[in-house]
Structure 1
Amino acid sequence: MALQYDLLVFKQVYQVILKIFEYTKDFPKEYKLTLGQDLKMDGLQLVRSIYKANKSNGKWEYLESFLDKFELLKLEICLCVDLKILSIKKQAV
């Protein structure tokens, strides 16, 4: 079992979380404490799912949780784009 820090998926999700924290700093006040906080928490939950899947024998439960949370995060990012609080350029990064 590799350390979760060495897993490619962990590194990529960590980069996404860093971007989320960077971009939510510029959110308008009305979205910063709602949608911005949700983005941050859902991103952190992705990392938790990776950690739990990596340390457990029954990985499917945590991998399914990861996929659910990832879809939710994608939906929230699309919502940010539709509300014009996040540009499409930033979404693609």
Structure 2
Amino acid sequence: MAQYDNLPVYKAVYDLLLALFRSSHNLQREYRYTIGEKLKEELTELVILIYRANSTREKGPLIHEARERIELAKLGLRLLYDLRQLSMKQYVRYAEMTENISRQLAAWEKYINGKKNSEE
């Protein structure tokens, strides 16, 4: 089993989480403790799901849940941008990071489903 912290998708999510922690102090208080905290929780759960998916044989449901969580993170980031809590530059950076994560999770899920179908 590969170490989870060597997975590119794990590193990408961790980098996004770290960037969010570093910039969340710039959010207005109202949004910092609502949307900002929810985003941090979603991304933390996403990191945990990636670890769990890498550690188990039944990866499909965990990867599916991870894909749902990255969509929720995209929504939260868009909301922060629309509320003028993120600059265009920050939003573009975060959007690129979330899109990269989403593509990696989709590819992982496709690989797992293809592998499962070939075993049947």
TM-score by length of 1: 0.96
Aligned AA for 2:90?
K
How many aligned residue pairs are there?
93
% same residue = 34
Residue aligning to 1:5: 5
Structure showing greater radius of gyration is: 2
Q: Which residue of 2 aligns with 1:88?
A: 88
Deviations 1:28-86 (A, max 9, x none): 01111111100110110110110110001100010001000000000000000000001
Indicate whether 1:48 and 2:48 are aligned.
yes
Q: Tell me how large the CA RMSD over aligned residues is.
A: 0.7
Point out where structure 2 has 5 or more consecutive residues left out of the alignment. 94-120
Query: In structure 1, what is the Cα distance between the partners aligned to 2:55 and 2:8?
Result: 16
Q: Any runs of at least 4 consecutive aligned residues in structure 1 with deviations exceeding 3 A, and if so which?
A: none
Match of 2:109 in 1: none
Higher relative contact order (CA 8 A, sep 6+): 2
Going by fraction, where is helix more abundant, 1 or 2? 2
2: CA distance between counterparts of 1:77 and 1:36? Answer: 9
- Secondary structure of 1:49's partner? helix
Q: Specify every segment of 5 or more residues in structure 1 that has no aligned partner in the other structure, as ranges.
A: none
Partner of 1:17: 17
Q: Which residue of 1 aligns with 2:61?
A: 61
TM-score when normalising by structure 2: 0.75
